[in-house]
Amino acid sequence: MERTNDNQREELVESLTWDAGVRTQFPISGAYGIYTALSEENLRLKKQKIQLEQENRRLKMEFEYERQDNTVTNPEG
């Protein structure tokens, strides 16, 4: 720390503070623990997005089918 200029010292202190905070959450894995947790959450959300898109397509098709069926059975309205 002694060999850093003022700007670098400030960044170094921020970095060390961040790392210390991370170590309280993930004492063994540190920053890698956060990376792993976020990566797993990202994968879970991507899977959920795919499921929701599939459900959305299914509901749209169901809506279109019901609308067409309604037009055939009730052509006036």
pLDDT band at residue 15 under the 50/70/90 scheme: very high
How many residues does the structure list for the chain?
A: 77
What are the helix (H) ranges across 1-77?
Answer: 6-25, 31-73
The predicted-structure confidence for 1-10, as pLDDT tens digits, reads as follows: 677 788 788 8
The predicted-structure confidence for 32-75, as pLDDT tens digits, reads as follows: 999 999 999 999 999 999 999 999 999 999 999 888 877 767 76
Instruction: Say if 63 falls within a structural domain.
Output: yes
Please tell me the predicted confidence (pLDDT) of residue 58.
96
Please tell me the predicted confidence (pLDDT) of residue 40.
98
The answer to pTM > 0.85 is no
- Quote the CA–CA distance of 8 and 51 in Å, as a whole number: 46
Structural domain for 18, as ranges: 6-73
From residue 55, alpha-carbon distances to 16, 41, 61 in Å are 45, 21, 10
Please tell me the predicted confidence (pLDDT) of residue 29.
94
Instruction: Say if 38 falls within a structural domain.
Output: yes
Q: How many domains does the chain have?
A: 1
Instruction: Say if 1 falls within a structural domain.
Output: no
